[in-house]
Structure 1
Amino acid sequence: MDLSVDRTASGREYKVNDISQTGLWTELALAKMEMRSLETVRTKYGPNHPLKGAKITVSIDVTTPARVLIKTLNNLGAEVRVCSRGTHSTNDYAAAAIIAGDCASVFAWNGQTPREYVWCMERALDWGQRGGPDLIIDDGGDITRLICEGIKAEKMYEKTGQLPDLSSRGTEDPKLQVMLTNIRDGLKSDSQRFHRMKERLVGVSGMTTHGIQMLWKMQADGTFLEAIGINDSPIKRMWDNWYGTRLSLVEGLRRAFTGDSIAEKAAVVCGYGEVGKGCADALKEARAKVFVTENSPDYAFDALVDGFPVKPIDDFISMADFVVTTTDYKDGITVEHMRKMKNNAVICSIGQFDNDIDMEELETYPGVRRITINPQTDKWYFPETNTGVIVLAEGRMMNLGCATGHPSFVESCPYTDHVIGLLELWKLKDGRTDA
């Protein structure tokens, strides 16, 4: 993708896969009908425009429900710039529909490289001379991490003249490598960019476990500002993590294989938190034979009580027809695991941070061949056997890479939490505490 900003006739900035691919407006109307809690927010707060003047950056799954959220923010008076919260978390037609509806500036497309992904985040944070956004919705934690790393680098550069170390522990993450590279390259020309952003920023509404843990750490370090973690909302954890994956996992599997049967096949779910529970339930309802791997004794006990056999991954790997990772446990599935799997076994991830499946090791395996079966569905052949495994969405979030994400009704609850969180944070701008 050419990394240059496009503009609509009205001057709104964007970068999407295909501006003409706007999808069905009927789908948007149905989504609005399903998202009744957001409709209630618009009805109750909209006439007073409580977010008037707010510049909001939104990092989220760019889907049809996201357009309803963005339109709600518009109704409450806000201006919005949007990027995806992952390299494979965009429905291209939804991104185009947001531009066509003139709701927000959007920088998102499905199947981004790490460089493209970080570029989109930087565009979503770019409010010109305004110095950055007033508020942020951060679904995945990456856009918060970008700001945090920028602040840390600027402090270090001001104190010692030292640039970010791209070889330090933890920087093997390709996205973080790109973030640090861009921060390093921008320091000499503007060494206060992220500090200005911090000074303007009123607060963040965060929605993932990892992102919330990062916010707590930054708060302890004195690095960041006010934040509301809606991830701890019982509605969010149950609806989004459990019910959402329960509905979108099987949709992604069936779309990737044009309806291939799941029944009577062996499915291994790696992890049994809320997301893992939803995946196991979905596969069980599809009549698969479900097995669970889990490191936590508490969660392993939950799986046993729910009737699922629990063992280490090595005990299940050779019998698996499907392997679904949910844990964000780095390199939980390695090439050695893949070489032990059946021919045409399917591997996919529904975890947040794209690191469960060691794709780098697979891509660099000597003699490996990659054949695309369907979009986001690839078979990788090992040279020793000329057999191999099928990987969905390049090892990233398959329920968005191969399907359309969580249903509108499920997303309505956490998105409403986001809006209420922003309303509370926006009061802090003037030191207000009234309702």
Structure 2
Amino acid sequence: MPNYLVRDIKLAPAGRLKIDWVSQHMPVLNVIREQFIKEQPFKGYRVAVCIHLEAKTAYLAEVLKAGGAEVSIAGSNPLSTQDDVAAALADAGINVYSWYNATAQEYKEHLLHLIDDQPDIVIDDGGDVVQLLHTERTEVAAKVLGGCEETTTGVLRLRSLEKQGALKFPMIAVNDAYCKYLFDNRYGTGESVWSGIMRTTNLITAGKTVVVAGYGWCGKGIAMRAKGLGAKVIVTEVDPVKAIEAYMDGCHPMHSLEAAKLGDVFITATGCKDVFTARHYQVMKDGAILCNAGHFDVEINIPDLAAMSAGRRKVRKDIEEFSLSDGRKIYLLAEGRLVNLAAGDGHPAEIMDMSFALQALSARYLLDNAGGLLNKVYVVPKEIDDRVANLKLQSLGVHIDRLTPEQAAYINEWNHAT
């Protein structure tokens, strides 16, 4: 019997319907699942998964289990776990430690339960599990063969560990694979953030001024979708090159204090802290809406906003109103957590199909190369990236050209005849 800590196991049938639905729209992962069933690459190994616990993640866990793994799973954010999906996984024989709206202490306890299952492979999202393995559960870290990281935030934390010479096992930066950031970070984030905002607020986007903080791949996707919805887009950046990119893409880069005076909707996607603080709130319009698309809830400084407010109340599900002393009202979505997951269903299934295919194949790569990897952060091998891309094209019915032997020789030759 699996171990589980879920809100209500009786919710399993509803969660099963969600998992079955997304599995029909994840053809790349389905091909990998069939291969895993035949080859059983994870037989005898334990895999710990800490990713936003909704239907697509659940299907990844089931694919790993189909490959022979003993799987444990916990959510990577207190507000993104869907209780019916968690129950369905527990009912399917997977160890589950997660429920929606966990307190900070409960969230940490769930992750510690996950670690105490003694994983051989860790699949992390944001770096919280890896952080605990390097601090409070170092004895478990000694047996970990390696891990994979899903997000930009998590990769930054890993590279910091590596730079200090403190990383205890090899990690693969799945976030940095082409088939992850070009599609998941850009198209997935762009669509799911706006889906979360619109379903939460029920307000129109066309004609509004949207301020996107950060113009990495997530910011690019958010800005692109905002323009498609008819918004005027301002971008705030600290990187001069990215600011020029935003300008060339038809956005308006400017200092955040100037942008604060103009925006109707503010979306953070930087991976940093204190992107919007008291000095910004002081000049924002009455009715301004704040939300976050970064991994942690520190990009919008909520204590500053609370300190400036004469009152605060919840006005809709996932919308909190802060009444400032001068009568202005500022609205915060999803408690400043990931708006696309805390107030939505996350990225579309077809997008996560590629990201989770990378996770599954990278986890297998770690097993296949156990003992031969150093304790450092690795990029996803090109053959894995290319395989996922080719499987995706096949699922779309798309055929592309291939180099002839002569062409391949030509582009690898430096001494071309003139």
TM-score scaled by length of structure 2: 0.84
Letter in 2 for 1:226: P
CA separation of 1:223 and 1:248: change in aligned 2, threshold 3 A: closer
Equivalent residues of 2:16, 2:85 under 8 A apart = no
Are 1:114 and 2:88 matched, yes or no? no
Is the 2:47–2:69 Cα contact (8 Å) retained in structure 1? yes
SS at match of 1:20: helix
**1:141 CA drift (Å):** 1.0
Q: State the partner residue of 2:4.
A: 14
Structure 2 unaligned residues grouped into runs of 5+: 374-382, 384-418
Deviation at 1:24, TM superposition (A): 5.8
Supply the AA of the counterpart residue of 1:30: W
Equivalent in the alignment of 2:357: 416
More off after superposition, 70-79 vs 223-232: 223-232
2:184–2:347 CA contact under 8 A, matched in 1: yes
Q: What is the Cα deviation at residue 240 of structure 1?
A: 1.1
- What are the Cα deviations for residues 374-408 of structure 1, in whole angstroms up to 9, with x where unaligned? 222111112x2233111011111010111110011
Structure 1 CA distance for aligned equivalents of residues 101 and 329 of structure 2:
23
* 1:95 Cα deviation after fit: 1.9
What amino acid does structure 1 have at the position aligned with 2:53? V
Residue 233 of structure 1 pairs with residue 219 of structure 2: no
Give the Å deviation of 1:214: 2.9
Query: How many matched pairs?
Result: 372
Structure 1 residue 419 displacement after superposition: 0.8
Q: CA deviation at 1:338?
A: 2.0
Do structure 1's residue 84 and structure 2's residue 75 form an aligned pair?
Answer: yes
Report if the CA contact (8 A) 1:328-1:354 is conserved: no
Aligned to 1:61: 52
For residues 227 and 87 of structure 1, the distance between their equivalents in structure 2, rounded to whole angstroms, comes to 24
Q: Distance in 1 between matches of 2:89 and 2:220?
A: 33
> Could you tell me which amino acid in structure 1 is paired with residue 195 of structure 2?
E
Q: Does 1:369 align with 2:305?
A: no
**Aligned partners of 2:257 and 2:279 also within 8 Å:** no
C-alpha deviation, 1:255, in angstroms: 1.3
2:199 alignment counterpart: 255
Structure 2 counterpart of 1:328, from 247, 271, 277: 271
Question: Residue 28 of structure 1: CA displacement?
Answer: 2.5
Q: Please say if 1:342 is aligned against 2:285.
A: yes
**1:202-281 to 2 correspondences below 5 Å:** 202-220=145-163, 221-257=165-201, 259-281=202-224
Quick one: distance in 2 between partners of 1:24 and 1:218? Answer: 37
- What is aligned with 1:146? 132
Amino acid at match of 2:319: T
How many Å apart are 1:354 and its aligned residue? 1.7
The code of the aligned residue for 1:113 comes to T
Q: Which amino acid aligns with 1:116?
A: E
Gaps of 5+ in 1: 1-9, 151-193
Q: 1:396 aligns with which of 333, 337, 343?
A: 337
Q: Does 1:199 align with 2:142?
A: yes
Query: 1:202 Cα deviation (Å)?
Result: 0.6
For residues 76-99 of structure 1, the C-alpha deviation after alignment (integer angstroms, 9 at most, x for no partner) is: 001111111123222333222222
In 2: Cα distance, 1:58 partner to 1:401 partner? 19
- Name the SS of the counterpart of 2:238 in structure 1: coil
CA distance in 2, matches of 1:217, 1:273: 19
Please report how far the alpha carbon of residue 298 of structure 1 lies from its aligned counterpart in structure 2 after TM superposition.
Answer: 0.7
Q: Give 1:288 shift.
A: 1.3
Q: 1:111 Cα shift? A: 2.8
1: distance between equivalents of 2:346 and 2:178? 20
What residue number does 1:319 align with? 262
Aligned 1:352-367 pairs, distance under 5 A: 352-363=295-306, 365=307
| Matching residue of 1:98 | 89
Conserved 8 A contact 1:88-1:400: yes
CA distance, structure 2, for counterparts of residue 252 and residue 345 of structure 1: 17
Q: Give, in angstroms, the shift of residue 136 of structure 1.
A: 0.3
Deviations along 1:43-100, one digit per CA (max 9) or x if unpaired, are: 1231121100111111101111111101101100011111111232223332222223
The root-mean-square deviation of aligned C-alpha atoms, in Å, is: 2.0
TM-score relative to the length of structure 1: 0.81
Secondary structure at 1:368's aligned position in 2? Answer: strand
> Alignment partner of 1:371: what SS?
strand
The amino acid across from 2:341 in the alignment is L
Superposed displacement of residue 222, structure 1: 4.3
Q: 1:26 to 1:119 in 2, by over 3 A?
A: closer
Shift of 1:367: 5.3
Q: Say if 1:297 and 1:55 are closer, same or farther in 2 by CA, change over 3 A.
A: same
- Which residue of structure 2 lines up, in the alignment, with residue 166 of structure 1? none
CA positional deviation for 1:311: 0.3
Residue aligned with 1:200, SS: coil
Structure 1 residues 13, 26: CA separation in 2 closer, same or farther (over 3 Å shift)? closer
Contact 2:134-2:141 within 8 A present in 1 as well: no
How far is 1:25 from its partner? 4.1
Q: Secondary structure at the match of 1:224?
A: coil
Corresponding residue for 2:252? 309
Taking only the aligned residue pairs, the percentage that are identical comes to 29
Q: 1:27 to 1:342 in 2, by over 3 A?
A: same
Q: 1:378: which partner in 2?
A: 320
CA separation of 1:90/1:201 partners in 2, compared to 1, >3 Å: closer, same or farther?
A: same
> 2:404 aligns to what?
none
Residues 289, 330 of structure 2: 8 Å contact kept: yes
